[in-house]
Amino acid sequence: MKVTIIGLDIAKSVFQAHGTDASGKCLLKKKLGRSEVVSFFEKLERCLVVLEACGTSHHWARVIRDTGHEVKLIPPEMVKPFVKRGKKNDAVDAAAICLAAIHPDTRFVPIKNREQQSLLSLHSTRTLLVKQQTMLVNALRALAAEFGLIVPLGNSRLPELLAKIETSSNLPDALKQTTMLLFEQYGRLSESIENLEGGIRTHAKQDEDARRLLTIPGIGPVTASLIVASVTDIGAFDTARHFAAWLGLVPRQHSSGGKTRLGRITKTGNREIRKMLVLGATSMLYRAQKWDSAAGVWLCKLLERRPGRLATVALANKLARIIWALLSRKEIYRPTGRSVATV
C-alpha cells in the first residue's frame, strides 16, 4: 500500500503527519519534531503533501517541495467542517486536512516565494507602524486636552499642538516632558513609515502588474503593490465576482425557500487589501462629479439613491472586479468617458 497524500498539521516545534492511500485508508500517523521534518520527507516516496495555510506554512511548503514532493496549501475554513466534533487535537487536524484535500470543491492557496513574502513584510511593518502612530497621536491629544489644549483634527495640526505646549507657562514640567517624548517618537515613526512607503513605491514603479493597476482611479502605489504581492495567481479566480468574494466585498446571504435575503458584506479573505480598496473608493466618492467615465456616472447615480458608506463599499467591489479584469487580460484601465479622474 502506497501513501499518496499526507496531511501535515504544523506548529512551532511538533508537527503531526497523517498519510492515506488512494482510497483514503490511513497508512501513516507520525509525530515529527521541527528538526525531523526534512529528513522524514527526503526518505518518503514522492506524494502529495497538504498543509493548512497559516503562519510559516509558505516556508514549510517551499522546504518540503524542495525534497521532491508536490505541496498544496488549503484554507483553514475548508478544513474546519472535517474536524471531528469534540476531538480537537493535532492528529485529528492532520486527518481532517487529508479529507478536505480530496473533496472535489476544495480550492487551494498558491504558495508564495521568498520575494513575495519579503515584499509583504514591508506592507505588514508599515501597517503596524501606522497603527502605532495613530495610537500615539490619540494619546498626545488626550493628554493635552486634560489641560485645555485643543487643536483641529488631522496630523498636519500637530505642530500647532506642540507650539501651544511649548509656549504655555502654566503647564506642569512632567506634562511637557512626557509630551515631548511622544512628539519625538511620532517623528521617528513618521520617518520609518516614509522609508517603507518609499520602498513600496519603488516596487510599484518597477512591477508591470502594479503599473497596470496604477491606471485605475482610486488605486495608489501602496494598494497596487499589496495586491501584486498578495495575489500570486489571478487565474485561481474564475471570474471577477470570485475575486471580489475572496476579498469579502460581496453581500452575505441569508436565503431560504426561494427568497433571496442579502445582508452586509462577508468581510472574509485578505483584510488589508479590502481596507485599502475601501479607502481608495472613499477618496473617489468626493470626486464622483469629476470622474467622467462609465464608472463615474454609475457612482453618481448610486449616490442619488443610496447612503455614502454603502456607495463606498459598492465602488470597492467594482474596483476589485476591475483589478481582476486588468490582471487577467494584461490590459490598462480605459474609461469610456471624455477624461480620466485624477488620483
For the cut 70, the answer to whether the pLDDT of residue 130 exceeds it is yes
pTM for this structure? 0.87
What's the pLDDT at 341? 42
pLDDT greater at residue 287 or residue 73: 73
Mean local confidence (pLDDT), 99-120: 92
Average pLDDT, the chain: 92
Q: Count the residues in the chain.
A: 343
Mean local confidence (pLDDT), 94-102: 94
Q: Is the dihedral of CA 312, 314, 315, 317 positive or negative?
A: positive
Distance of CA 335 to the CA centre of its chain: 27
The grid coordinates listed for 26 are: 490511513
What's the pLDDT at 49? 97
Ranges in the chain annotated CATH 3.30.420.40: 5-102
- For residue range 226-235, list pLDDT tens digits in order: 999 999 889 9
Residues 316 and 219: beta-carbon distance below 8 Å? no
Question: What is the Cα–Cα distance from 57 to 74, expressed in whole angstroms?
Answer: 10
Question: What is the Cα–Cα distance from 262 to 38, expressed in whole angstroms?
Answer: 48
Q: In the chain, pLDDT over 70 holds for what percent of residues?
A: 98
- Residue 73 dihedral angles phi and psi, to the nearest 5°: -110, 135
Low-confidence winner among 116-120, 293-297, 303-307 (lowest mean pLDDT)? 293-297
**Total Cβ atoms within 10 A of residue 9:** 24
- For residue range 207-224, list pLDDT tens digits in order: 999 999 999 999 999 999
Question: What is the Cα–Cα distance from 219 to 71, expressed in whole angstroms?
Answer: 34
The grid coordinates listed for 56 are: 510559516
Residues 343 and 291: beta-carbon distance below 8 Å? no
Question: What is the Cα–Cα distance from 49 to 60, expressed in whole angstroms?
Answer: 11
For the cut 80, the answer to whether the pLDDT of residue 303 exceeds it is yes
What's the pLDDT at 141? 95
What's the pLDDT at 23? 85
What's the pLDDT at 342? 43
Residues 319 and 280: beta-carbon distance below 8 Å? yes
pLDDT greater at residue 238 or residue 338: 238
291 — pLDDT class (breaks 50, 70, 90): confident
Residues 280 and 221: beta-carbon distance below 8 Å? no
**Total Cβ atoms within 10 A of residue 56:** 12
What's the pLDDT at 343? 39
Which residues touch 156 (CB under 8 Å, ≥6 apart)?
A: none
Mean local confidence (pLDDT), 166-187: 92
151 — pLDDT class (breaks 50, 70, 90): very high
Question: Which CATH architecture is the domain 5-102 placed in?
Answer: 2-Layer Sandwich (3.30)
What's the pLDDT at 79? 94
Of 80, 112, 128, the residue nearest 272 (C-alpha): 128
Of 107, 130, 113, the residue nearest 189 (C-alpha): 130
What's the pLDDT at 63? 96
- For residue range 255-269, list pLDDT tens digits in order: 888 888 888 899 988
Mean local confidence (pLDDT), 285-298: 84
